[in-house]
């Protein structure tokens, strides 16, 4: 096999890993922001559908994508963390129609064991701080100041003997590491309606039992304070927390066989058919309805019934089937974006009445996804000398064979049989030339100079003043 390889990106990433909805480009405009591995796409929601606005590459694989609105701002900011622990805060500049970096930094630690269940990045609903779980036993906090900006690092005294310590992420930013007793963390979410920033931690103990604890984040003491409630011995398959906004507050705990609503003064649970929930999307502002997507591509509607801000029960209903969702974003007027890492992403509409098959889901548009590609081969299907790539794309029920006809190819301009080449360089005929003219090929005993003639053929030539023997 040759030691030389030609590597090129022939197709942009199409696998959707994250998505979020908010007023990013304008206070009056609703945007869908989609993360595809190393790229983010910004779409504008219009009466005619989704209108693409911007496609931006990110230097790194996106692990966290969250919208938030700092105090005093009229539109949302975008928070991104990569798998290599680099983060940035982006803002849309309406005058130049470009993204502006408001903050950036490195939140990695020199020591620490990366989490087995992946990175977790969350933002306090009141924009008091950002929370990151990157290493086992540590919860990293990036505070906001009173103006909604990430707090500066100057004139901050840090006690390194405490359970928390200060880390500079850039010349202007700082963050704190809090020790977390729970080592096998499955999910962490900030809770709504708390006087102080409060997190709910879903974890598994050394006996494989799963529990939820709440903690207040005390920046003054640089430590966790015991939270308002906890819940032990949950569904053994519980692995997802959904924070519920005011007026209900509390949190939904999604398991494989049960769904639980829990707060300081309420506990409600319902059994469900065995399933593994992969994604969720909030429908209403008050958090009374949620869309749940499972491992089989089924979409359910979860409803929290309540009276006078008091939860009375939970209801769940099957709506239909989509691609296996990795992210669900409710847009408006019963239109939902279903992003998938295993199949084509979809734009669907939820109808009031079922179709002939009993499904409430109507697919409006599909977005092609070639990933994940587990195998491929290059073939000439039509025997015309044009190679085409046949890929084994997708996974589970969304697996398929795809044919890629367009891409990056190499066209041969000229060739010559030469053996024993030890080195090769290109040269210009003068410093003013835009392109190289000569190809210098070095052998053990001699050096030859090649050039293209008027008939675009490669032939041997000589350069005045150049000793080739």
Question: Most distant CA pair in the chain: distance in Å?
Answer: 95
Question: Where along the chain do its domains lie?
Answer: 18-367, 375-404, 423-461
3-state secondary structure of 262: strand
Residue 232 is predicted with a pLDDT of 94
Can you tell me the distance from the alpha carbon of 202 to that of 246, in angstroms, rounded to the nearest whole number? 21
Can you tell me the distance from the alpha carbon of 237 to that of 281, in angstroms, rounded to the nearest whole number? 20
Assess whether pLDDT exceeds 50 at residue 172: no
238, 244, 249, 253 alpha-carbon torsion, rounded to 10°: -10
Residue 277 is predicted with a pLDDT of 95
Over residues 431-450, the pLDDT tens digits come to 888 788 888 888 888 888 88
Split at pLDDT 50, 70, 90, the class of 410 is: low
Residue 411 is predicted with a pLDDT of 61
Over residues 96-142, the pLDDT tens digits come to 889 999 888 889 988 889 999 899 999 999 999 999 999 999 999 99
Can you tell me the distance from the alpha carbon of 259 to that of 238, in angstroms, rounded to the nearest whole number? 8
Split at pLDDT 50, 70, 90, the class of 145 is: confident
Q: Which residue has the tokens 């790229």?
A: 39
pTM strictly above 0.85: no
Q: What is the mean pLDDT of residues 382-387?
A: 71
Q: What is the CA radius of gyration of the chain?
A: 28
Give 119: exposed, middle or buried? Use CB within 10 Å, 0-12, 13-18, 19+.
Answer: middle
**CA quadruple 443, 447, 452, 453: dihedral sign:** negative
Architecture of domain 18-367: 7 Propeller (2.130)
3-state secondary structure of 396: helix
């Amino acid at each position: 096999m040759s030691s030389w390889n030609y590597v090129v990106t022939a197709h942009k990433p199409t696998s959707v890993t994250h998505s979020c909805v908010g007023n990013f480009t304008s206070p009056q405009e609703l945007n869908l922001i989609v993360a595809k591995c190393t790229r983010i796409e910004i779409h504008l929601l219009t009466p005619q559908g989704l209108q693409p606005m911007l496609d931006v590459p990110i230097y790194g694989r996106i692990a966290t994508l969250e919208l938030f609105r700092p105090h005093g701002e009229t539109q949302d900011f975008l928070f991104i963390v990569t798998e290599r622990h680099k983060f940035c805060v982006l803002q849309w500049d309406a005058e130049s129609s470009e993204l502006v970096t408001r903050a950036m930094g490195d939140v990695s630690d020199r020591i620490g064991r990366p989490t087995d269940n992946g990175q977790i990045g969350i933002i306090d609903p009141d924009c008091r701080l950002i929370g990151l779980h990157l290493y086992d036993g540590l919860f990293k906090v990036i505070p906001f100041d009173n103006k909604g900006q990430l707090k500066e690092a100057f004139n901050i005294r840090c006690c390194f003997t405490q359970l928390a310590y200060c880390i500079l992420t850039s010349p202007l930013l700082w963050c704190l590491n809090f020790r977390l007793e729970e080592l096998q963390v499955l999910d962490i979410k900030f809770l709504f309606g708390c006087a102080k920033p409060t997190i709910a931690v879903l974890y598994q103990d050394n006996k494989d039992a799963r529990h939820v604890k709440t903690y207040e984040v005390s920046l003054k003491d640089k430590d966790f304070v015991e939270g308002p409630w906890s819940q032990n011995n949950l569904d053994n398959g519980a692995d997802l927390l959904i924070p519920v906004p005011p007026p209900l507050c509390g949190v939904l705990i999604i398991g494989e066989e049960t769904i639980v609503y829990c707060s300081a003064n309420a506990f409600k649970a319902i059994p469900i058919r065995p399933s593994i929930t992969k994604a969720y999307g909030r429908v209403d502002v008050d958090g009374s309805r949620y869309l749940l997507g499972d491992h089989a591509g089924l979409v359910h509607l979860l409803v929290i019934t309540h009276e006078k801000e008091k939860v009375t029960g939970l209801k769940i209903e099957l709506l239909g089937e989509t691609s296996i969702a990795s992210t669900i974003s409710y847009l408006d007027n019963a239109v939902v974006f279903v992003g998938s890492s295993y199949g084509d992403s979809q734009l669907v509409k939820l109808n009031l009445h079922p179709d002939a098959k009993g499904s409430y889901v109507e697919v409006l548009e599909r977005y092609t996804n070639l990933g994940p590609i587990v195998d491929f081969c290059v073939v000439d299907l039509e025997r015309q000398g044009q190679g085409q790539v046949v890929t084994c794309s997708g996974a589970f029920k969304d697996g398929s064979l795809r044919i890629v006809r367009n891409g990056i190819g190499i066209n041969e301009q000229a060739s010559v049989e030469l053996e024993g080449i030890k080195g090769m360089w290109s040269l210009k005929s003068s410093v003013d030339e835009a392109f190289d003219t000569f190809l210098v090929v070095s052998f053990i005993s001699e050096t030859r100079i090649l050039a293209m003639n008027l008939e675009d053929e490669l032939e041997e030539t000589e350069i005045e003043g150049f000793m080739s023997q």
